[in-house]
Structure 1
Amino acid sequence: MSATDRTRRAGGRRAAVALLAAGLLLGTAACGGGSSGDGARNGATGGAKGKVTLTFWDWDPHMDKVVAKWNAGHPGIQVRLSNPAGGDQLVAKMITAHEAKNGPDIAKVEYQSLPALVSKGVVRDITRYTKDTVADFDRATLGSTTFEGKVYGVPQDVAPLMFFYRADLFQRYGLTVPTTWDQFAATAAAVRAKAPASYLTNFDAADPGWFTGLAQQAGANWWSADGDSWKVDIDGAPTRKVAAYWQDQVGRGAVAKNPSFSPQWNKQMNDGTLLAWISGAWAPAQLGGIAPATKGKWAVAPLPAWTAGDTTTGIWGGSATTVTSDSHHPAEAAQFASWLNTDDAAVTEQVKQINVYPAATGGRSLPILQAAPAFFPNEPDFYAKVKQVAPSARSFPMWGPDVTVTFTGYSDSFGKALQSGGSFTDALTGMQSAAVADLKKLGFTVG
């Protein structure tokens, strides 16, 4: 890269800092009412003439069934679905594709990844195409995709952290669902005493999104900005409290140490070795593939609180549908993104197929949310419980432009600490140092 390129990129990133500092509020939403629609009301005007084919990158299971609904009703705008990767891997592929000028038209992006994609010019400002669409979202939810009043994506879902547990095994062992983290520790110890081959849950050193949600619940704010200066507080007191708590659980042998979504973890979830899972509200869509033998055996409760009666929780995941700057059909792509996340039929199909909890306020009142998820037939009030928890879910007020580095640092440093018996709080210090160094390398000022 030439010196000119480095200067141009640093300048763009500094501009993104000011933009992020002024406009990005990331969080989950309060519940509300509303309606949805399609066609002219979504603000997608100025499209191309003739048939258009759009490429859509998304990792949701069964999204093909949702896309099929769109294709059946929009013969002039056809969407071709592809699943090249998920989460951070998809972000990396988007950046690589953008540099080669062959990115998709539309892509699913987790909220925490959006700032980096905006600063790199990978996703497009779709404000002009979503003037009516934005009315379907409350301010907090729309803030996850809005920078200085410009819309860079249509929110898809919100994912508050909740406590999923095997109701049958809790009954077998005479366990009470914990409502505080002190009670959680006592329950974890009771499981080990009553069923020595089992654990209440696992500590996941591989998935930073999981740990981030726990830090959010404790009150952490990992990034903040003042003008063009950033502050990083990854190893601050709230996060250190969370790290120390889980270090104690691991040290006592109260929780398993294998990562979520690993083959061993899948087996333990399926055979009852693990009794609970701290996960996002999307968990029912995943459990069918993880633990197929456990259908109808799970229940859900709010995440345990640090202080009795506190309803605060964090988030794990939550995504938006974005239009890339490589798309030659941004109006049509924005029309699809709006339809996907605000049209009643589209959102209903996503709830049915993917178990999303809708970001659109009107979507939270759809009739399908009165029924149980397919894998949770014993929980007819599942979505009512999510709706009750969602207003108290918090994210970081701001995500930094180096989330990928920070998340990689979590997996590396916590993974090593878990295997070696090292300090989790020291791992946080390492994450802090790496995040600060990366911001400075990118040309940012860190105060």
Structure 2
Amino acid sequence: MALTALIATGCSAGGPENNNSGDPVKLTYWAWAPNLDKVVDIWNEANPDIQVTVAKQDGGDPAITKLLTAIQAGSGAPDLIQAEYQKIPTLVASDALADIAGAVGGDLAGEFPDAVWDSVTLGGDAVYAIPQDTGPMMFYYREDIFNELGLTVPTTWDEYADTARALREADPTKYLGTFSATDAGWFAGLSQQAQAEWWSIDGEAWAVGIDQEPTQAVAEYWGGLVAEGAIDNKPMYTPEWNAGLNDGTQVGWLGAVWGPGVLQGNAADTAGLWKAALLPTWDGTPSNGNWGGSSTAVTSQSDHVEAATEFATWLNTDPEAVAALVEQTGIYPAATEAGASILTEAPDFFSNQPDFYDVAAQAAEAVAPFTYGPNVNVAFSAYNDEFAKAAEAKSVDAFVAAVSAMQQITLEDLKSNGFTVVE
């Protein structure tokens, strides 16, 4: 994949780095992961010459907006920032991140799944961040209800549809899942599994491929299930949905590896009743999507790119650091080998499934490549608007039309903001 000059504007590692004063290098890290300061304390104790301070932020989008404001002003930016993968193209296009390729080890890419590494390199030679955690999608289901009703765990989307129908026939109060018109990242993950490419870089121009066969097929599939009433059409993370997880009216959930925390928080009474499986596939060929995950990036205004890169690499690949991240922040680490050596016991909520993390590892390994664009916020907003109408209409045509509308809105926004676009 060629990198356009419009995206490859991140500053190369460099700038003032020498520190001859005898005082420690002081780095500021904007992040929102809980208890991250406790992990950083391990680094600070062992590295008196490079001291890192965590400045807690209010989640992903506010932190990114705050960083872009500081970059535009020319001051006030931190040395490091926790950046979700889908935000990296936006930050690079805004000249907010340093290219740290010259500061990372040559074999660092091998620490991570190919699709995850691609997310921080944008398919080129530059490196804009170190992966921290990832969110391979998984299928969660109530094993007790499946057994009671004689249902089988679906391995393909055709089987999922059949199981959803069988469940509704056996008990009309229950659903195998819901289509959520408020979770664009969820739908992006399902489209990624189908080999969709919502954005791509062609020479020196962006291309938008939302309204193409893979995503059209995903939309048509879910539109059909909603239209016939085989699944619910209410958003996730509402009080109604939360209650459904607990009382058994929501018998399944297409979530991600971080799902145990959601289930523990919303369906505590059902501990030991759920099982995790791989996401159903379209044709039996292993493939998966990603929902969530973030990285540690060095900003273009840092005067200590090498020191910041050294810390970011330690944080996300060192076994002690990764173990602390898992324990303190609850992440699913992106580093394959380090994660496998640490995640040896299932989450408490899944104590009935000792192989939980074996299934998770298979899910992570199957994640397909997926490129985000510099206006992902626009595309995600368009998803919320257009699919809210489609879910309400409960028609296949409305679901397919929503994909076309997303394409047009995303494409026009790129043009209006001065990006070179190929159609």
User: 1:351 maps to what in 2?
Assistant: 326
User: 2:365 maps to what in 1?
Assistant: 391
Q: Secondary structure at the match of 2:179?
A: coil
| Among 312, 316, 326, the residue aligned to 1:341 | 316
Q: How many pairs are equivalent?
A: 408
Q: Secondary structure at the match of 2:140?
A: strand
Counterpart of 2:98, as a letter, is R
Kindly provide the CA deviation profile for residues 68-104 of structure 1, in whole angstroms up to 9, marking residues without a partner as x.
Answer: 4334434554433344333444333332333343233
Counterpart of 1:121, as a letter, is D
Which range moves more in the overlay, 430-439 or 125-134?
A: 125-134
| 1: CA distance, partners of 2:219 / 2:147 | 30
State yes or no: 1:315 paired with 2:290.
Answer: yes
Q: Secondary structure at the match of 2:181?
A: coil
| Among 6, 26, 41, the residue aligned to 1:16 | 6
State yes or no: 1:127 paired with 2:117.
Answer: no
Alignment of 1:146-165 (within 5 A): 146=121, 148-165=124-141
User: 1:166 maps to what in 2?
Assistant: 142
The verdict on how the C-alpha distance between 1:94 and 1:186 changes in structure 2, with shifts beyond 3 A counting, is same
| 2: CA distance, partners of 1:226 / 1:209 | 24
Contact 1:66–1:350 (CA under 8 A) maintained in structure 2: yes
User: 1:434 maps to what in 2?
Assistant: 409
User: 2:14 maps to what in 1?
Assistant: none
CA offset at residue 428 of structure 1?
0.8
The verdict on how the C-alpha distance between 1:433 and 1:198 changes in structure 2, with shifts beyond 3 A counting, is same
Counterpart of 1:124, as a letter, is A
Q: Secondary structure at the match of 1:150?
A: coil
Which range moves more in the overlay, 374-383 or 297-306?
A: 374-383
Alignment of 1:298-313 (within 5 A): 298-307=274-283, 309-313=284-288
Contact 2:37–2:53 (CA under 8 A) maintained in structure 1: no
Contact 2:139–2:253 (CA under 8 A) maintained in structure 1: yes
| Among 310, 330, 337, the residue aligned to 1:362 | 337
User: 1:70 maps to what in 2?
Assistant: 43
CA offset at residue 61 of structure 1?
3.8
The verdict on how the C-alpha distance between 1:298 and 1:131 changes in structure 2, with shifts beyond 3 A counting, is same
User: 1:180 maps to what in 2?
Assistant: 156
User: 1:232 maps to what in 2?
Assistant: 208
CA offset at residue 64 of structure 1?
4.1
User: 2:377 maps to what in 1?
Assistant: 404
Counterpart of 1:55, as a letter, is T
| 2: CA distance, partners of 1:158 / 1:47 | 35
User: 2:183 maps to what in 1?
Assistant: 207
Which range moves more in the overlay, 232-241 or 185-194?
A: 185-194
Any stretches of 5+ residues in structure 1 without a counterpart?
A: 1-12, 21-44
Counterpart of 1:168, as a letter, is D
User: 1:327 maps to what in 2?
Assistant: 302
Q: Secondary structure at the match of 2:71?
A: helix
Kindly provide the CA deviation profile for residues 7-45 of structure 1, in whole angstroms up to 9, marking residues without a partner as x.
Answer: xxxxxx96224789xxxxxxxxxxxxxxxxxxxxxxxx8
State yes or no: 1:112 paired with 2:92.
Answer: no
Q: What's the RMSD between the two structures over aligned residues?
A: 2.6
State yes or no: 1:272 paired with 2:245.
Answer: no
Kindly provide the CA deviation profile for residues 387-407 of structure 1, in whole angstroms up to 9, marking residues without a partner as x.
Answer: 2233221032x3222211111
Which range moves more in the overlay, 336-345 or 145-154?
A: 145-154
Any stretches of 5+ residues in structure 2 without a counterpart?
A: 11-16
Contact 1:409–1:434 (CA under 8 A) maintained in structure 2: yes
Percent of aligned positions that are identical: 44
Contact 1:164–1:278 (CA under 8 A) maintained in structure 2: yes
Contact 1:63–1:353 (CA under 8 A) maintained in structure 2: yes
Kindly provide the CA deviation profile for residues 263-294 of structure 1, in whole angstroms up to 9, marking residues without a partner as x.
Answer: 33222223322121112222223333333333
| 2: CA distance, partners of 1:280 / 1:16 | 32
Contact 1:136–1:342 (CA under 8 A) maintained in structure 2: no
Contact 1:203–1:250 (CA under 8 A) maintained in structure 2: yes
The verdict on how the C-alpha distance between 1:409 and 1:169 changes in structure 2, with shifts beyond 3 A counting, is same
User: TM-score under structure 1 normalisation?
Assistant: 0.83
User: 2:399 maps to what in 1?
Assistant: 424
| 1: CA distance, partners of 2:57 / 2:302 | 17
CA offset at residue 235 of structure 1?
1.1
CA offset at residue 334 of structure 1?
2.0
User: 2:388 maps to what in 1?
Assistant: 415
CA offset at residue 413 of structure 1?
1.0
Contact 1:280–1:316 (CA under 8 A) maintained in structure 2: yes
| Among 251, 260, 267, the residue aligned to 1:291 | 267
Kindly provide the CA deviation profile for residues 206-253 of structure 1, in whole angstroms up to 9, marking residues without a partner as x.
Answer: 111110111111121122232123322211111111101111111122
User: 2:68 maps to what in 1?
Assistant: 95
The verdict on how the C-alpha distance between 1:198 and 1:76 changes in structure 2, with shifts beyond 3 A counting, is farther
CA offset at residue 173 of structure 1?
2.8
Contact 1:282–1:354 (CA under 8 A) maintained in structure 2: no
Counterpart of 1:400, as a letter, is G
